[in-house]
Amino acid sequence: MTSHFQKNLFKTAYDVLAMALGLDRHNTNKNIYIDKCGTHFIRSKWGFEPTEKYNQKIRIQYQEQKIEQLNQLLADKNYEIEHLLLRQEGLHKQVDLLHDQSKSTKKEKGFLKKLLKEVLDKNLALEKRMERMIHHEENLSMQIAKLKTSKENLLTHNQHLTEKSQQQKLQLHTLQQVIEQQKKPILQNH
């Protein structure tokens, strides 16, 4: 396979670095390089960095997907908590029923005590699990809040970069006009 670098002489230190990293220059954009896996890298003053790092839209989409996943996980946990609460209520009713039966029958008292202990142990285990799930839900809520703040910061940063880019384009256009105006008298003198 003959790469771009073998066809042409090295023009910059980036060309040497790209060859060492196994990157080929993009066909249409001289600042974009591609590795063998098809990952795109952009040339920066630090070397080569993934283009996704400079694409705020991709970062925002990733954050939104993460928020969606956390919301789904939160909904699933809420459903589990509701289900556990219903089971707990049923177990309480069973405990009450077993307690009433133990009063009426002395022969079955030992058996019922054992069964009651199992139910109470299960109930305690369910309560502990429910506490863990509530704590997990609180953690998820905090993560969602942090992700929303991060998304807002990314949007603000993206807006700032867009405004800065527009200012630079306007400055470049103004500079080109000044150069053209300076050229006119020189060309007229010749």
Does any domain span residue 23? Answer: yes
Beta bridge partners of 32: 42
CB-CB contact of 15 with 9 (8 Å)? no
Higher pLDDT among residues 31 and 108, named by residue: 31
Are 79 and 137 found together in one domain?
yes
Report how far residue 161's alpha carbon sits from residue 60's, in angstroms, rounded to the nearest whole number.
15
Does any domain span residue 182? Answer: no
What total number of domains does the chain contain?
Answer: 2
Are 34 and 70 found together in one domain?
no
Are 168 and 108 found together in one domain?
yes
Is the four-CA dihedral 13, 19, 24, 27 of positive or negative sign? positive
Are 86 and 42 found together in one domain?
no
Does any domain span residue 185? Answer: no
- Among 14, 36, 54, the domain boundary falls at 54
Are 85 and 151 found together in one domain?
yes
pTM greater than the 0.75 cutoff: no
| Residue-level pLDDT at 11 | 74
| Residue-level pLDDT at 14 | 80
Are 31 and 123 found together in one domain?
no
Q: What is the pLDDT of residues 56-107, one digit of tens each?
A: 776 787 788 889 999 999 999 889 889 888 888 888 888 888 777 766 776 6
CB-CB contact of 84 with 122 (8 Å)? no
Are 128 and 70 found together in one domain?
yes
Are 111 and 45 found together in one domain?
no
Domain span at residue 48 reads 4-54
Are 87 and 63 found together in one domain?
yes
Are 153 and 106 found together in one domain?
yes
Are 31 and 111 found together in one domain?
no
Does any domain span residue 187? Answer: no
SS3 content of the chain, % helix, strand, coil (to 5): 75, 5, 15
Are 39 and 11 found together in one domain?
yes
| Residue-level pLDDT at 10 | 61
| Residue-level pLDDT at 2 | 46
| Residue-level pLDDT at 132 | 93
Strands 24-25, 40-44: pairing is unpaired
